[in-house]
Chains A and B, each alone.
Chain A
Amino acid sequence: MTSKTELAVDKFLEQTDSEVASFFEACVHCGMCAEACQFHLSTGDPKYTPIYKLRPMERAYKREKAPFSRLKKMLGLAPKPVTEKELIEWAPLVYDGCNMCKRCTLVCPMGIDIAGTIRKMRAGYAAAGLAPEEL
């Protein structure tokens, strides 16, 4: 039996093509995207930092798909697996925390397309039936 988490993670991995992979590989955690996102600017809450909204998907990629991920898993250095609790916690960020304005991409030194990746992340939520009901 496949759990919701597995369904979501599988979809995340499927959605992570070389473009999204290069985003996760290149992000330097510089935090500049936060300075562009209206959700962060108007609330002051760090959780609205654009790259942070992608965290579960990033973790899934780094644990299961990234180069050296098998080596890191063997050595116990891979990031922890994604949990359902976490996915539920992130749902408001993924669905209500981004209006696809793409300002973060303008400011990002790595040109990371957060909005496009959030859309792909939503596909994972939908596949797992974790998307908010009203949608």
Chain B
Amino acid sequence: MSFLNLVEGPLFTFAAAVFVLGALWRLIGIIRIGRAKDISPPKASAAAGFIKGNLRHFFPRGIFAKRTMVHIIGGYGFHLGLFMLVFFGVYHIDFLNERILGFSWPALPRWAFLLTSAVAFSGLITLWVRRISDPVMQLISDKDDHIGSWLTFLVMLSGCFALEQAHDSLRGVHMLLVDIWLIYFPFSRLMHSFTFFLSRGQSGMTYGRKGKVR
């Protein structure tokens, strides 16, 4: 079996299984703890608060937006960019179509794909250099933060390196990094891509019940 077949075949299947099962296990583990009882009479709906909390925090607040502008732009650029690359890059759609889903959808044209990559890379680099150049960030960051950023960066970079599609080995390296990323994901802070809705939602519930979602 060639290297490429390994990392796109059995190893990918294994990594994807770890990703799905691990992430589910962790999400269920968090939810299973259960919310503490709130004995005060509710002023408004907690469920609506869950949704409000989730929506509210997509938008920066005016008074703070200016101070955190670099972070907001970098963050949105990176996350939206990566989302577009993963789900609307033609290679990714083909891969998902052939390996997993069995259907496909329209892809970004090449120029848009490259432009999106540039935005996503810029965002990720901005977020990480901010992490290393600020005392607050240095204090609260741990190994996981750096490993997560770098693994994601390397996955993206190796993907970019393989763009000519002339060498199986480059595609193989990209896929190997994807596999490692998938396996690392559920055990790390990368999980924030799923846990964010629990966190926003539950604080929304608490405050929603009191009648004011923050």
Q: Tell me the A residues contacting B by CB distance below 8 Å.
A: 15-19, 21-23, 25-32, 34-36, 40, 46-47, 49, 51-52, 65-68, 72, 102-103, 105-113, 116
Measured CB to CB, the nearest residue on chain B to A13 is B33
Smallest CB separation, A44 vs chain B (Å): 9
The 6 listed contacts between A and B (C-beta, < 8 Å) are: A23-B203, A29-B142, A31-B137, A109-B196, A111-B54, A111-B200
A17-B36, A19-B36 are known contacts. Are A109 and B145 too (CB-CB below 8 A)? no
Q: Tell me the B residues contacting A by CB distance below 8 Å.
A: 22, 25-26, 28-36, 53-54, 56-57, 60-61, 64, 67-68, 71, 75, 131, 134-142, 145, 186-187, 189, 191-192, 195-196, 198-207, 214
Contact of A17 among B33, B67, B191 (CB under 8 A): B33
Smallest CB separation, A42 vs chain B (Å): 14
- When the two chains form their complex, are residues B57 and A111 in contact, meaning their CB atoms are under 8 A apart? yes
- When the two chains form their complex, are residues B35 and A35 in contact, meaning their CB atoms are under 8 A apart? no
- When the two chains form their complex, are residues B206 and A116 in contact, meaning their CB atoms are under 8 A apart? yes
Measured CB to CB, the nearest residue on chain B to A71 is B187
Q: Helix, strand, loop or mixed for chain B's interface?
A: helix
Kindly count the residue-residue contacts between A and B in the assembled complex, taking CB atoms under 8 Å apart: 135
A19-B205, A105-B214 are known contacts. Are A29 and B137 too (CB-CB below 8 A)? yes
- When the two chains form their complex, are residues A111 and B192 in contact, meaning their CB atoms are under 8 A apart? no
State in angstroms the CA–CA spacing of A111 and B139 once bound together. Answer: 21
State in angstroms the CA–CA spacing of A111 and B59 once bound together. Answer: 11
Given contacts A111-B56, A113-B214, 13 further A-B contacts (CB under 8 A): A18-B202, A19-B35, A22-B198, A25-B30, A25-B198, A25-B199, A65-B33, A67-B28, A68-B26, A107-B64, A107-B68, A111-B203, A112-B203
A21-B33, A29-B142 are known contacts. Are A112 and B199 too (CB-CB below 8 A)? yes
- When the two chains form their complex, are residues B137 and A26 in contact, meaning their CB atoms are under 8 A apart? no
Contacts of B32 in A (CB 8 A): 18
Contacts of A35 in B (CB 8 A): 64, 67-68
State in angstroms the CA–CA spacing of A28 and B131 once bound together. Answer: 11
State in angstroms the CA–CA spacing of A103 and B64 once bound together. Answer: 9
- When the two chains form their complex, are residues A22 and B30 in contact, meaning their CB atoms are under 8 A apart? yes
- When the two chains form their complex, are residues B135 and A26 in contact, meaning their CB atoms are under 8 A apart? no
Smallest CB separation, A101 vs chain B (Å): 11
State in angstroms the CA–CA spacing of A117 and B61 once bound together. Answer: 22
Smallest CB separation, B75 vs chain A (Å): 7
- When the two chains form their complex, are residues B68 and A28 in contact, meaning their CB atoms are under 8 A apart? no
Measured CB to CB, the nearest residue on chain A to B52 is A111
Measured CB to CB, the nearest residue on chain B to A34 is B136
Q: Which of B141, B186, B198 has the most CB of A within 10 A?
A: B198
Leading 6 A-B pairs by shortest Cβ distance: A67-B29, A26-B199, A111-B200, A22-B198, A19-B202, A17-B36
Contacts of B131 in A (CB 8 A): 29
State in angstroms the CA–CA spacing of A34 and B56 once bound together. Answer: 19
Measured CB to CB, the nearest residue on chain A to B204 is A111
- When the two chains form their complex, are residues A29 and B199 in contact, meaning their CB atoms are under 8 A apart? no
State in angstroms the CA–CA spacing of A112 and B214 once bound together. Answer: 10
- When the two chains form their complex, are residues B35 and A17 in contact, meaning their CB atoms are under 8 A apart? yes
Contacts of B68 in A (CB 8 A): 32, 35, 107
State in angstroms the CA–CA spacing of A49 and B136 once bound together. Answer: 7
